[in-house]
Amino acid sequence: KVSAAQAIDAVSIAIMAHRRTYESMVVERLSQAGAMQVSPDYDGERKHLPLPVQFLERAGTDVANSPERDRLKFRLISIDAINKGNVPASEFEKDGMAKLMKKPDVPVRGIFFEKGRTYYQSLYADKAVSMGCVECHNAHPNSPRADYHVGDVMGALWVAIAIDEKQ
């Protein structure tokens, strides 16, 4: 039998692995080759790729629009978010970010209720994994911070899974 903590940890590992793979094998390679560039305005431009955060956000939107949308939820949050829609939205997220800044390797966990369902939620530190992340955030005109280094906690991945049967 798998616990909720084991299940949500496995989901978070998969989400972050996809994001890192996209960053290193797609964004970095195509950008270095000059074939594509990363851009927040990727939708309207043929030779532009979404930023890694936009890639993850799009996947989260796809899950949220799926028939199973009430079983899994995820998004990135940050106290220093460039996109103000990504700031911590709940007390759990605000308190969790403060805890992750002190102990980034310890997930923050909790329970919440929404629309008659019970969810198990976890926050995982989202660290700057490459110079591309650091340079983009440090140079962005809307970034509240300009002093990131590789390995710094930039925010968190929030993941929630339903732990009850749908009524």
Summarize pLDDT for 85-142 with one digit per residue, the tens.
889 999 999 999 999 999 999 999 999 999 899 999 999 999 987 777 888 888 888 8
Instruction: Say if residue 31's pLDDT is above 90.
Output: no
Q: What is the pLDDT of residue 165?
A: 78
Listed in sequence order, the DSSP H helices in 103-148 are 131-139
Q: Which residues of 9-35 are buried (b: 16+ CB within 10 A; e: fewer)?
A: bebbeebbeebeebbeebbeeeeeeee
Give the lowest-confidence range in 21-25, 35-39, 122-126, 154-158: 35-39
Q: What is the pLDDT of residue 54?
A: 81
Q: Which of 22, 26, 44 is nearest to 35 (CA)?
A: 26
Which pair of structure tokens corresponds to residue 131? 């110079």
Q: What is the pLDDT of residue 45?
A: 62
Q: What is the pLDDT of residue 58?
A: 85
C-beta separation of 70 from 29 below 8 A: no
Summarize pLDDT for 34-77 with one digit per residue, the tens.
766 666 666 666 677 777 888 888 898 899 888 888 899 999 99
